Chains A and B, each alone.
Chain A
């Protein structure tokens, strides 16, 4: 059971928008930056969003991140079949542990 709570799965049609939530507490998300990672099937994770809402170079602006209080959200617009993957939120906890959410599988119908 992860300390950070994500929905196990989300789905949407190509071209549509989807959001993935990540819920924590004041000891983790509430006081630390959040990052998001994408893991395509059979590959290593890849950084998608860092420091709540910043995109590394090469990540399209279809991907966005936000944080409010003890929750964070990943948004993906203009869905493509190539976006089908597992998505993980991550942050640090005041107990000096890095935390991952349980992961959300995105299906593009």
Chain B
């Protein structure tokens, strides 16, 4: 079965950087778009970014545009999220999710368990 395991979360000071990873197994990773979605404590889900199956398309929420970068390594079945200039309001559980198809507009099919990012001095 499809499994997604996020890692790289932790406590970081405002203004610093962090890189999250999402290791995928049980699927042909290179055939699917991938998402990052976050959830701040006690709040709802917020889409962060998406990348197409072949890295050709990437889209970002306005709240992270210019600070976060999504990437993927299809040879390693791994998705990444580079987060720079972190702010307190970036504090959240970050989930990766497979899309239901190769392109950005597909639904979020399988989700990982999430990794927690806390931005605090």
B-binding residues in A (CB < 8 A): 2, 32-33, 35, 37, 39, 43-47, 50-51, 56, 86, 88, 90, 92, 96-103
CB distance from B24 to the nearest CB of A (A): 15
* Interface status of B31 (Cβ within 8 A of chain A): no
Contacts of A98 in B (CB 8 A): 35, 47, 50, 59
Q: Interface residues of B: mostly helix, strand, loop or mixed? A: strand
Rounded to whole angstroms, the CA-CA distance of A56 and B95 in the bound complex is: 20
The answer to whether B111 and A51 have CB atoms under 8 Å apart is no
The answer to whether A45 and B109 have CB atoms under 8 Å apart is no
Known: A44-B111, A90-B108. Contact between A37 and B45, CB under 8 A? yes
The answer to whether A100 and B61 have CB atoms under 8 Å apart is no
The answer to whether B113 and A50 have CB atoms under 8 Å apart is no
Most buried by B among A39, A43, A98, A99: A98
Q: How many residues of B contact A (CB 8 A)?
A: 23
CB distance from A109 to the nearest CB of B (A): 23
A-binding residues in B (CB < 8 A): 35, 37, 44-47, 50, 59, 61-62, 95, 97, 100, 104-105, 107-114
Known: A88-B44, A97-B61, A99-B47. Contact between A46 and B107, CB under 8 A? no
Contacts of B113 in A (CB 8 A): 43-44
A sample of 20 inter-chain contacts (CB < 8 A) reads A2-B44, A32-B105, A33-B105, A33-B107, A43-B113, A44-B111, A44-B112, A44-B113, A45-B45, A45-B111, A47-B107, A47-B108, A47-B109, A56-B109, A92-B104, A98-B35, A98-B59, A99-B47, A100-B46, A100-B47
The answer to whether B44 and A97 have CB atoms under 8 Å apart is no
Known: A45-B95, A50-B100. Contact between A100 and B45, CB under 8 A? yes
Contacts of A92 in B (CB 8 A): 104-105
Closest residue of B by beta carbon distance from A45: B111
Rounded to whole angstroms, the CA-CA distance of A39 and B37 in the bound complex is: 13
Known: A44-B95, A47-B110, A97-B61. Contact between A103 and B45, CB under 8 A? yes
Rounded to whole angstroms, the CA-CA distance of A35 and B108 in the bound complex is: 8
Rounded to whole angstroms, the CA-CA distance of A102 and B95 in the bound complex is: 17
